[in-house]
């Protein structure tokens, strides 16, 4: 905002092709004349009269305190400094700069190759064509923001073309991940281009024991299934036995391996190998054939548990009995000493004390009565 002594106006930013409005405002007008000039200082409006023969300029408001003019269908040639004049003594001027914004077109996104193998680097480019001012470009891979290398080229008509290059080393987790380039510009919002990464990766292999569910015992059958996933889908799946030959009667059907009537000579490592255009991968299964009755002793563990419980109960009962007996002997021992002490209170010597403690006093009296 530029202020004169008594005159004010505002700078204007407008998108190419849209409308700009210039307002010349007077705080305290003393009937002085207001006029608006273009960057070439040609009079657009003198009071409410338009001398300039350009119908894109239209009077919006005219009063003692304001001259407001609109300019429709703005082009780059309209950019510049416009002058509000107030014919006072001395004359006053205020300046309004019109800036024309040119939004970029839809961004052009390209990649060095459509398909890339895991572990390799790919390059993506995004171009924002002819904008003003120069646009900026951001990159997103899923929810992760990445940084590209940006170059800006200025064209002959004060326009700018911006290109950003993103170098990216991909993994199998990137397959199907969206990559977006986002254009930031004052004249446009949420302008973006997007493409999905296509990543080739070698197989992921896993062997599953389909049968039996538990231990592999002599005489039983064994069925293994090889699950292999990759991009492209593995074109070949093969079975082998590490450091030995596969048993002669083994049946292999694609990803399935079947051995009947197991015996311990079949022990070993069985490997499933899957291949695609990216590479090979494998998974191992270690076969150990148990005795035919292996695992049947499990109920004995329950018997041992029961026996252990019984022993614990017996030990507890013995402990309780010992405690009761201990308390019993302690009580009788205390009584003996109590009686002996009681006899000692009235006795002249030790023999008399013992007789008194055992109730001998009464017996003596009876004997005395007897002899009398």
Residue 316, in any domain of the structure:
no
Residue 313, in any domain of the structure:
no
Q: Based on the domain organization, do 142 and 193 belong to the same domain?
A: yes
Task: Answer whether 103's CB lies under 8 Å from 187's CB.
Answer: yes
Tell me how far apart the alpha carbons of residues 319 and 346 are, in angstroms, rounded to a whole number: 43
Residue 367, in any domain of the structure:
no
Task: Answer whether 133's CB lies under 8 Å from 154's CB.
Answer: no
Please report the pLDDT score of residue 86 as a whole number: 93
Q: Based on the domain organization, do 134 and 89 belong to the same domain?
A: no
Q: Which of 141, 173, 200 is the last residue of a domain?
A: 200
Tell me how far apart the alpha carbons of residues 35 and 110 are, in angstroms, rounded to a whole number: 52
Instruction: State which residues of the chain have pLDDT below 50.
Output: 1-4, 298-302, 334-344, 350, 353-354, 357-372
Tell me how far apart the alpha carbons of residues 38 and 43 are, in angstroms, rounded to a whole number: 7
Q: Based on the domain organization, do 188 and 208 belong to the same domain?
A: no
Q: Model confidence over 76-126: pLDDT tens digits? A: 999 999 999 998 888 899 999 999 999 999 999 999 999 999 999 999 999
Q: Based on the domain organization, do 207 and 248 belong to the same domain?
A: yes
Task: Answer whether 267's CB lies under 8 Å from 194's CB.
Answer: no
Task: Answer whether 55's CB lies under 8 Å from 65's CB.
Answer: no
Please report the pLDDT score of residue 121 as a whole number: 97
Residue 355, in any domain of the structure:
no
Please report the pLDDT score of residue 371 as a whole number: 38
Instruction: Give me the CATH number covering residue 33.
Output: 2.60.40.10
Please count the structural domains in the chain.
3
Q: Which of 269, 287, 305 is the last residue of a domain?
A: 287
**What's the pTM value of the predicted model, to 2 decimals?**
0.66
Please report the pLDDT score of residue 305 as a whole number: 57
Please report the pLDDT score of residue 364 as a whole number: 41
Instruction: Name residues whose C-beta falls within 8 Å of residue 94's C-beta, 6 or more positions apart in sequence.
Output: 2, 3, 4, 7, 8, 9, 24, 83, 84
Q: Based on the domain organization, do 194 and 206 belong to the same domain?
A: no
Q: Which range of residues forms the domain containing residue 61?
A: 7-101
CA distances (Å), origin 68, targets 25, 65, 330:
8, 10, 119
Residue 231, in any domain of the structure:
yes
**Which residue bears the tokens 């300046």?**
95
Task: Answer whether 262's CB lies under 8 Å from 221's CB.
Answer: yes
Sign of CA dihedral 307, 309, 315, 317: negative
Q: Which of 200, 220, 238 is the last residue of a domain?
A: 200
């Amino acid at each position: 905002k530029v202020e004169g002594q008594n005159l004010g106006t505002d700078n204007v930013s407008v998108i190419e092709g849209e409308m700009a409005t210039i307002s010349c405002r007077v705080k305290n007008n003393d009937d002085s004349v207001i006029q608006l000039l273009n960057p070439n200082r040609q009079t657009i409006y003198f009071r409410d009269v338009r001398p300039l023969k350009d119908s894109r300029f239209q009077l919006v408001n005219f009063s003692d305190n304001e001259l407001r003019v609109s300019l429709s269908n703005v082009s780059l040639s309209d950019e510049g400094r416009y002058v509000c004049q107030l014919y006072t003594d001395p004359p006053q001027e205020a300046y309004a700069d019109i800036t024309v914004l040119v939004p970029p077109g839809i961004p052009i996104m390209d990649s060095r190759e459509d398909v890339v193998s895991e572990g390799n680097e790919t390059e993506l480019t995004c171009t924002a064509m002819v904008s003003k001012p120069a646009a900026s470009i951001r990159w997103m891979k899923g929810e992760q923001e990445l940084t590209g290398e940006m170059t800006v080229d200025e064209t002959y008509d004060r326009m700018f073309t911006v290109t950003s290059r993103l170098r990216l080393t991909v993994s199998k987790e990137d397959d199907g991940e969206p990559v977006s380039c986002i254009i930031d510009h004052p004249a446009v919002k949420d302008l973006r281009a997007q493409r999905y990464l296509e990543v080739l990766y070698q197989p992921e292999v896993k062997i599953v024991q389909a049968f039996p569910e538990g231990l592999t015992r002599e005489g039983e059958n064994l069925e293994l299934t090889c699950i292999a996933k990759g991009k492209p889908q593995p074109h070949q799946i093969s079975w082998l036995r590490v450091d030995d030959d596969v048993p002669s009667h083994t049946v292999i059907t694609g990803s399935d391996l079947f051995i009947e009537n197991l015996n311990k000579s079949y022990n070993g490592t069985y490997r499933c190998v899957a291949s695609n255009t990216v590479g090979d991968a494998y998974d191992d299964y270690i076969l150990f054939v148990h005795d035919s009755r292996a695992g049947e002793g499990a109920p004995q563990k329950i018997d041992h548990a029961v026996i252990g419980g019984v022993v614990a109960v017996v030990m507890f009962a013995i402990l309780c009995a010992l405690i009761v007996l201990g308390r019993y002997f302690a009580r009788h021992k205390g009584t003996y000493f109590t009686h002996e002490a009681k006899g000692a209170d009235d006795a002249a010597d030790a023999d008399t004390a013992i007789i008194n403690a055992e109730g001998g006093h009464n017996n003596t009296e009876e004997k005395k009565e007897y002899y009398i």
